[in-house]
Amino acid sequence: MRTRWTVALAACAWLACAPTATADPLPVDYNFFGGFPAEIANPGGSLPGTNDFSCVPTAEHPNPVILVHGTGTGQQTGWGVYAPLLKNEGYCVFALTYGALPGPWPISEIGGLGPVPEKGAQFAAFVDEVLSATGAEKVDIVGHSQGTVLPNYYAQVLGGADSIDKYVSLAPLWKGSGPSQFAWPAASYRYAPGITYTNIMTRYDEVVVPYTDGYVEGPNATNIVVQDTCDLDFSEHAGIVGSPRAAAFVLNALDPANPVAVPCEFVPPFTG
């Protein structure tokens, strides 16, 4: 009997001293198309690290981050870089596909289409769901292309400004882009007080022309062009989502108290 107790106590002591297992970091592929294989493998699903509605925000990152894709992509195809990157940094990360037309896959995951009010309602409902699940008071936004306007429509037209803290835009179109600019109420293009905006642009943007349509001054705004002080980044409208340089700017916008080094390295167009 004494031997059994000795073995049991030794086992308990070993377990108590054993290191706590931690999840391995998710792989980050700096490529605009990095999320496409996941969509093919799991149609209509969520990227690893996203949409865990049991995620509890930490004191370091109290705001869950919502990723808002551009036209023609979705919650997986648009965010192959940022889903794992932000999850590895300790954020609760969420993404939605908005504005998809009715139909079978893959039509069901081609987002950013449909009427503006419908897209706005989908986004508003998703924000409410994220806040309710996480218990957070506000969310942070990382958007690309059309996904830089939709959250501001929610803030300025639907009254959601109090629910957004930091608002980071990749290839933004604050002054509109082609005929699409007339689809959105003018208020969608105006900054909301109380939100901190960061606009990250590329000189090679072939969709937002001129690229400076994403550059708007404001007391609550920071404007960044990835080629400033680094002429090795050739990312354009899509490739900026795969640019490690742009990603570092995003991390620093979300957590300015703990900045990371911003690399200057060759970044090809289209893929990043």
In a domain, residue 230? The reply is: yes
Both tokens assigned to 194: 């109380």
- Return the CA Rg of the chain: 21
In a domain, 263, yes or no: no
Asked if residue 261 belongs to a domain, the reply is no
Question: Could you report the per-residue pLDDT of 174-192, keeping only the tens digit for each?
Answer: 997 655 655 899 999 999 9
In a domain, 18, yes or no: no
Does 179 reside within a domain?
yes
Q: What are the C-alpha distances in Å from 116 to residues 152, 172, 182, 237?
A: 12, 17, 11, 22
In angstroms, rounded to a whole number, what is the distance separating the alpha carbons of residues 4 and 8?
Answer: 6
Would 7 be classed as within a structural domain? no
Cβ neighbours, 10 Å, residue 192 = 18
Share of the chain above pLDDT 70, in %: 90
Residue 149: domain span: 26-254
- The pLDDT mean for the chain works out to 92
Structural domain includes residue 183: yes
CB neighbourhood size of 62 (10 A): 16
Q: Is residue 192 part of a domain?
A: yes
User: pTM of the predicted model, to two decimals?
Assistant: 0.91
Q: What is the pLDDT of residues 99-157, one digit of tens each?
A: 999 999 999 999 999 999 999 999 999 999 999 999 999 999 999 999 999 999 999 99
For residue 23, name the pLDDT band (cuts at 50, 70, 90): confident
- Give CA separation, 243 vs 26, 28, 58, 226, in Å: 18, 12, 27, 9
CATH number, position 148: 3.40.50.1820
pLDDT interval class at 243 (50, 70, 90): very high
CA distances from 81 to 37, 118, 145, 156, 260 (A): 12, 27, 16, 29, 17
Total structural domains within the chain: 1
